[in-house]
Amino acid sequence: MNRFIVAAALAASCIGGAHAAALDQFKTFVSSTKAARGEFTQTLTKNVDGAKKTSAPSTGTFVFARPGKFIWTYQKPYEQVLQADGDKLYIYDKDLNQVTVKKLGDALGSSPAAILFGSNDLEKNFTLSEAGTRDGLEWLKAVPKAKDTSFELISIGLKNGQPEAMELKDNFGQVSTLAFKKFEKNPALGNTAFAFTVPKGADVVNQ
């Protein structure tokens, strides 16, 4: 699954009632959380010869500020950084020592990234609905209205007003699952927090 899409998935807030409906919790989270940072664990489950196989977990950190600014850092098992400054998206692969630069443009609009990194106008691009209780969490389902996306469903598990898990199902039936911890809501971030600096000697590819 495209890591820009996965980068979509982060964060949380510490407000709302423990038993409030997922949609109410999430709307409160979106309206009250302008920035956040924390840690994540990610796995990928896919069908291999008729059996479900789950990858070893990837771990890392995130920080974001709405709209369209974020740093999503994979630390293990290998290092990669996805960073957006509100105008461009930078993807840095440490092993290749290469930076790929893309225009952010409308890419956030109907992608999972829009839920956490974009504006508050979620229902313009997604159909949101309750998805019941599972694993001690209240679940919200977000279906993209656009037909040309590479995923078909996003599920968000919330507790105490905080998204604690996120599942992204792509058009091939693969599911990326993310768990969040050490969330800090609305931290103080400097004006240059999301300015990307090309690492010394790295190749730059513009797309």
Q: What percent of the chain has pLDDT over 70?
A: 83
Please, which pLDDT band fits residue 103 given cuts at 50, 70 and 90?
Answer: confident
For 12-59, what is each residue's pLDDT tens digit?
232 233 346 899 998 888 888 899 999 999 999 998 888 899 999 999
Supply the pLDDT for residue 66. Answer: 85
**H or E element, residue 88:** strand 88-93
Sequence-distant (6+) residues with CB within 8 A of 130 are 21, 22, 23, 138, 139, 140, 141
| Helical H segments across the chain, by residue range | 3-7, 22-32, 113-117
Please state the domain extents for the chain: 3-188
The Cα 55–Cα 44 span in angstroms is: 5
Taking 60 as the threshold, does the pLDDT of residue 97 lie above it?
yes
Listed range (14-28, 115-129, 148-162) with the worst mean pLDDT: 14-28
What's the CA gap between 67 and 35, in Å, rounded?
A: 9
- pTM given for the model: 0.81
Residue with tokens 């957006």: 84
Q: Which CATH number fits domain 3-188: 3.30.530.50, 3.80.10.10, 2.50.20.10, 1.10.3720.10?
A: 2.50.20.10
Q: Give how far Cα 36 sits from Cα of 53, 55, 81, 93, 122, Å.
A: 32, 27, 17, 24, 18
- The CA–CA distances, whole Å, from 62 to 72, 81, 87, 171, 183 equal 5, 10, 18, 25, 9
pLDDT at 110: 54
